[in-house]
Structure 1
Amino acid sequence: MTEEMFVQISDCKLYAKLVGENTGKPTVIMDAGYGDFSKAWDSVIEDISILSNILIYDRAGLGKSEKGSNPRTSREMVKELKELLIKAKIQPPYILVGHSFGGVNMRMFATEYPNEVCGLILVDSTPEDYRERFLSTMSQEFQQAYNKQFVLEGNYDEFMESLKQLKETRLKLHIPLIVLSAGKKAHYSIESQELWNEMQREIREISSNGEWVIAENSAHYIQNDEPEVVVSAIKKMIDLI
């Protein structure tokens, strides 16, 4: 089954696609990284759709979704996703999967709606202290390139505001959590990679039931470099629930 839809929320229409065999298992909701949209999951969607229904969508202003007037911060994105799920009649409980910045959104969604979420998978997700603890250790060239990327969806300040929101709303979760981290990041020194691993390992601590997995041969897009790692994590989560 594949159902494509344009769902009216607040002041714009969001594109979403529901894929899968209705197995009676929780629906998997997938959120892509900064500036990315639903196509970011193409490499894994077919394999996951055998396990359960999946909802992928384009955040406002990306892919096939209309641009909205709300600030491009995680708090607004979580509200918009919640409205999308209600309007599209996608019933909880949900397994949330977030890549990179999408992981920030999914962590906040799990904190905001704890009774609707039964599992969380973070795919090389951005830690809340990324700027202070990680970005500051990188070369000027890396930092400049990083700052210049914020033109697709919200600006640098909105992105950093999202990390601040994540820090402020952080609560201990009591749902299964799987943290997947990239073990072969591009342009990282040995020290940078070790720091990244450490920060990813610490994300595991946000749940009383957390697991941390390093995708040894992956750069940032684990779903492209080692799709089986992402599929296996989702399968494990579905089997747990």
Structure 2
Amino acid sequence: MRKLDLEYKIIGEGRGVLVIETGIGGSFYDWYPIVEKLKEHFTIVLYHRAGYGKSQNPSTPRTTKNIANELNCLLEAIGIKEKFILMGHSFGGLCVQQYAKMYPHKLKSIVLLDSTSFNFKSLYMLDIPVMKEFIAINKMVESNINSSKKSKEELKKQNQNIISAYNNRISEEDMVAVEEFFTSHMLHKTIAQEFENWDTDSKDIKDMREFPQIPLIVVARDIDLAIKEWIDYDIPEKEAVLYENQWRRLQRELSEVSEKSKFIIAQGSGHEVYLDRPDLIINSLNIIIS
């Protein structure tokens, strides 16, 4: 494979190596607050997948298989030789599941934060017509393709709430990078491609070898809070309850792939567990290193 040019940061000098895989459309700048609390105990590797931030444009289809391979190439290039903890959020968790099956010998343990499941399709088999319209993958693809055709000024306006949320959390220099990140046409093209491959990704992960029997922590969001958030988006309560109960079942199923697993419910947290309950993640990582 030819040399990759992926944007990455190494923060901290702790004895354990922690590699973080962000969610779909997510920037590693989101993780700065929790990384600040972890850097004494861990050497943390943050990176942007191809098509994200200052990383190169994708040269292969945006499958979890290719993403896992590219992450592995990056880690080899920057000299990560010891076994490490791999933590993934949402779609990043699906990428982590793929990596674990491809490179089990390189991992010390895994942390999945409200991760997309390899059986995510079961969510679309529920009797939730309004919700299905809201979460339809083809709509996500279409929306991001449309965004990729907008001007940078239009993208800045579209993502203003996301960008402004970083104020006072990161440096002025990083704020410039955040604005560039969310106004990138390539970002939205890449997100569309990642969504397009979800179905084949999940099949590929299921068809591969067994999950490695290494320590695994699965953190799931708060059902009651998630239901309330769906209702705020005008999703009928009955549908929100059905969806969230199935999401929880899928999280429990993820925790069952390893006999060395721990299942944790993040009370008071929505999907962004690393922002809502950083204390829980820090405690989970301390369990691993102790």
TM-score bin, normalised by smaller chain? 0.7 to 0.9
Contact 2:4–2:70, Cα closer than 8 Å, also in 1:
no
For 1:160 and 1:40, how far apart are their aligned partners in 2? 27
Q: 3-state SS of the aligned residue for 1:29?
A: strand
Q: 1:172 aligned to 206, 211, 226, which one? A: 211
Q: Tell me which amino acid in the other structure corresponds to 1:69.
A: S
Contact 2:4–2:73, Cα closer than 8 Å, also in 1:
no
Give CA deviations for 1:182-237 in whole Å, capped at 9, x if unaligned: 11323172332222212111111111101100112111100111111112111211
Q: Which residue in the other structure is 1:218 paired with?
A: 269
Contact 1:173–1:208, Cα closer than 8 Å, also in 2:
no
Give CA deviations for 1:71-115 in whole Å, capped at 9, x if unaligned: 000000000000001111122201000001111111121221111
Residues 43 and 145 (structure 1 numbering): CA distance in 2 closer, same or farther, change over 3 Å? Answer: farther
For 1:78 and 1:130, how far apart are their aligned partners in 2? 19
Residues 157 and 138 (structure 1 numbering): CA distance in 2 closer, same or farther, change over 3 Å? Answer: farther
Larger radius of gyration: 2
Contact 1:123–1:222, Cα closer than 8 Å, also in 2:
yes
Q: 2:100 aligned to 110, 117, 136, which one? A: 110
Q: Which residue in the other structure is 1:18 paired with?
A: 10
For 1:34 and 1:79, how far apart are their aligned partners in 2? 17
CA RMSD of aligned residues (A): 1.8
Contact 2:100–2:211, Cα closer than 8 Å, also in 1:
no
Q: Tell me which amino acid in the other structure corresponds to 1:171.
A: E
Q: Which residue in the other structure is 1:237 paired with?
A: 288
For 2:127 and 2:106, how far apart are their aligned partners in 1? 38
1:75 aligns with 2:126: no
| 1:16-55 to 2 correspondences below 5 Å | 16-21=8-13, 23-25=14-16, 27-55=17-45
Give the Å deviation of 1:10: 3.0
Q: 2:199 aligned to 154, 160, 170, which one? A: 160
For 2:63 and 2:125, how far apart are their aligned partners in 1? 22
Q: 2:131 aligned to 137, 142, 166, which one? A: 142
Aligned residue pairs: how many? Answer: 228
For 2:212 and 2:80, how far apart are their aligned partners in 1? 22
For 2:194 and 2:210, how far apart are their aligned partners in 1? 26
Residues 123 and 82 (structure 1 numbering): CA distance in 2 closer, same or farther, change over 3 Å? Answer: same
Higher helix share: 2
Give CA deviations for 1:5-48 in whole Å, capped at 9, x if unaligned: xxxx7365100000012x333x1000011121312322311111
For 2:212 and 2:220, how far apart are their aligned partners in 1? 19
Q: 1:189 aligned to 237, 240, 243, which one? A: 240
For 1:92 and 1:114, how far apart are their aligned partners in 2? 13
Question: Which blocks of at least 5 consecutive residues in structure 2 are unaligned?
Answer: 145-187, 231-238
* TM-score, reference length from structure 1: 0.88
For 2:8 and 2:203, how far apart are their aligned partners in 1? 28
